[in-house]
Amino acid sequence: DAGITQSPRHKVTETGTPVTLRCHQTENHRYMYWYRQDPGHGLRLIHYSYGVKDTDKGEVSDGYSVSRSKTEDFLLTLESATSSQTSVYFCATGTSGGAIETQYFGPGTRLLVL
């Protein structure tokens, strides 16, 4: 299994506060992804990165920003959290991008916005 950790694993915050989730990998994978998982929707892509400082938007990027200053770290920031951003957030990595790659997922972060 790819060494992917997410921190924090659980977080409760209040509406309007900034929140940053961290994904750390030890596999030197070039691609990294942030997904959110909600009941009835499966996983939906928020943002992804195809290299240091190279990022792009996914299906549900509004209200989120990302940064990748090092290969091993991919940060997801909610600038001003809203209740609709209550979700489970998954980070994933991939070696090559594109459909042929295998994505490896982290354990998830459960975020509750009150």
Residues that bind other proteins (CB under 8 A): 31, 33, 39-45, 48, 50, 56, 58-59, 88, 90, 92, 97-100, 102-103, 105-108
CB 16, min distance to other proteins, A? 28
Residue with Cβ nearer other proteins (68 or 106): 106
CB 107, min distance to other proteins, A? 6
Distance CA 21, CA 107 (A): 13
DSSP notation for 28-91: --SEEEEEEEETTTEEEEEEEEEETTEEEE-TT-TTEEEEEEETTEEEEEESS--GGG-EEEEE
Residue with Cβ nearer other proteins (7 or 80): 7
CB 109, min distance to other proteins, A? 10
